[in-house]
Amino acid sequence: MSQTITEPAREIDVIHRTDVLVVGSGPGGLAAALAAARTGVAVTLLERFGCFGGNITAVGVEGFAWYRHAETVEAGGIGWEFEERAKAMDAATPESQSLSYELDAEGFKLVADQLIEEAGIHPMLHRMYVAPLREGKRITGVIVESKAGREAILAKRVIDATGDADIARMMGAPTIKTPVEEMQAASVMFHIAGVDKQKFMEGVKADPQTYKDWSTGEWQVETSGKEDDMFSPFLAKPFAQALKDGLIPAHLNTIGGTWGAVHDSGEMTYMNLVHLAGCDGTDPDSMTRFEIEGRKQAMHAINALKYYTPGCGGARLRNFGMTIGIRDTRKLDAQYNMTEADVREQGRFDDSIGIYPEFIDGYGVLILPTTGRYMQIPYRAMLPKQVEGLLVTGRAIGGDRIAHAATRNMACCAVAGQGAGIAAALSVKADCALDSLAISEVQTELKRQGVRIA
Ligand SMILES: Cc1cc2nc3c(=O)[nH]c(=O)nc-3n(C[C@H](O)[C@H](O)[C@H](O)COP(=O)(O)OP(=O)(O)OC[C@H]3O[C@@H](n4cnc5c(N)ncnc54)[C@H](O)[C@@H]3O)c2cc1C
């Protein structure tokens, strides 16, 4: 039986004031904060966990640019810088299927700290955004909760980089939530240790897997055809064998996916093998159930690897991501919602804030940017309806399902983030509303910051 109580009103301290407040520090929020600070305003980056980096660091998603091939056209900018800085700080390893580097989930915590410090951003970890502050339609700051209790932060502009459009929704902007049964699966990510790298790689070479192999059993993946015979660091056979031999319970026929990096030290990281359909990343009860279920499934996966994968006989769990990985929840119903045609047919926009190569990965589609094709990202996809002073960036920008399969990718979140950060900063400097900004000025600053927009 549902019951409600009325929470008494109370006075809370204003603990901080800033020009631009970015809430959430994944590739979208981190890029937004850096870009805004480099545009010359006071910036605060708020994050509920103890590290910046979002899915990269908190979940262990290390494949930042595994789409990259010889002909791939890149946006440059802060996404590119993430990889370069990670390489320079020994926090990246060459990626097996592409011309890119895997970010090191732990090392990237230090990369983010350093970038934030250099840009003069005010860092705020361990505080959770819980509610917006408003004057009419305008957001004026946020309420946070932490060990210090409930506190207020005032800001001239707010960027919602929570991944779930939490702030936009609470401000009353229209958002669209994918029905739970259609959401992309969540994953409990894990890293293992004790792998004999040489033997493992010999096994991979003896039986190389391709993207065509993704279409087995439960999954059917549409490609453009050119992907089919390309190498993929894919693992399915050990789990099929384990099912057959009764080592994995019969209902766990969804275990399988990709391995990330295998290190000389015997660690194998970014194990993307557990796929949890039906997990609602906006419902803590659902997330609780699937965190626990995901950990069980990960241990079944490791057991199967030990038995059936060369070099993995001595494998053991090293760590789980510190939180379940959520791919798909709520998106902004933005002033412009990107479409499947935009991402499949090289969408072009006058208000482009950056480009992203033709990389679609999700909802049963995999298209890799092995040609020079690319799309532009429109500023309006980050502009909410009915709310002022707020931009939404990262994976929650406006778009349909297949558009999201492209824009959710981390390097694309960084493109959107950089555009949002610059726009927010310029609107503070010009004392102008976010929807009346001269886009040419945003584009000029983007170019100054090394972003390709056309
Ligand atoms: C398992 C998995 C594998 C993936 N694999 C790949 C891949 O190989 N390549 C790729 O490009 N993409 C991949 N993705 C997608 C990609 O990781 C995400 O789409 C991307 O990280 C989204 O970036 P973001 O900045 O929007 O949000 P996130 O990275 O989700 O960051 C959001 C941040 O906001 C913080 N936050 C949320 N709510 C609050 C609050 N109330 N108060 C304070 N802070 C808050 C969170 O703690 C988090 O740090 C994967 C995703 C998952 C889950």
Long-range own/partner contacts, residues 70-74 (CB < 8 A, 24 or more apart): 70/99, 70/370, 71/369, 71/370, 71/371, 71/372, 72/99, 72/357, 72/369, 72/370, 72/372, 73/355, 73/357, 73/369, 73/372, 73/373, 73/374, 73/452, 74/355, 74/357, 74/411, 74/452
pLDDT for the residue numbered 216: 76
Q: How far is the CA of 392 from the centre of ligand 1 (A)?
A: 14
With the most atoms of ligand 1 within 8 angstroms of its CB, the residue from 23, 61, 189, 211 to mutate is: 61
Phi first, then psi: what are they for 293, rounded to 5°? -60, -40
Please compute the mean of the pLDDT values over residues 336-365 and round it to a whole number.
98
Q: How far is the CA of 345 from the centre of ligand 1 (A)?
A: 26
**Whose CA is closest to atom 35 on ligand 1?**
24
What is the C-alpha separation between 322 and 294, in angstroms, rounded? 12
Angle between helices 27-38 and 77-88 (to 10 degrees): 100
Q: Which of 32-41, 171-180, 212-221, 226-235 has the lowest mean pLDDT?
A: 212-221
Q: How far is the CA of 264 from the centre of ligand 1 (A)?
A: 28
Q: How far is the CA of 11 from the centre of ligand 1 (A)?
A: 33
| pLDDT per residue as tens digits for the range 133-156 | 999 999 999 999 999 999 999 999
| pLDDT per residue as tens digits for the range 209-245 | 999 999 976 678 999 999 999 999 999 999 999 999 9
Query: Average model confidence (pLDDT) for the chain?
Result: 97
Please compute the mean of the pLDDT values over residues 375-384 and round it to a whole number.
98
Range list for CATH 3.50.50.60 in the chain:
13-179+329-448
Atom of ligand 1 nearest to the CA of 409: 11
Q: How far is the CA of 249 from the centre of ligand 1 (A)?
A: 30
What is the C-alpha separation between 329 and 243, in angstroms, rounded? 31
- The structural architecture, per CATH, of the domain 13-179+329-448 is 3-Layer(bba) Sandwich (3.50)
Q: How far is the CA of 54 from the centre of ligand 1 (A)?
A: 5
Q: Which of 81-90, 208-217, 416-425 has the lowest mean pLDDT?
A: 208-217
26 Cβ closer than 6 Å to some ligand 1 atom? yes
Chain center to CA of 145 = 24
Q: What percent of the chain has pLDDT over 90?
A: 98
Atom of ligand 1 nearest to the CA of 395: 26
Contact call for residues 349 and 339 (beta carbons, < 8 A): no
**Whose CA is closest to atom 49 on ligand 1?**
54
**Whose CA is closest to atom 38 on ligand 1?**
162
Contact call for residues 333 and 398 (beta carbons, < 8 A): yes
**Which residue in this structure is represented by tokens 């494998």?**
315
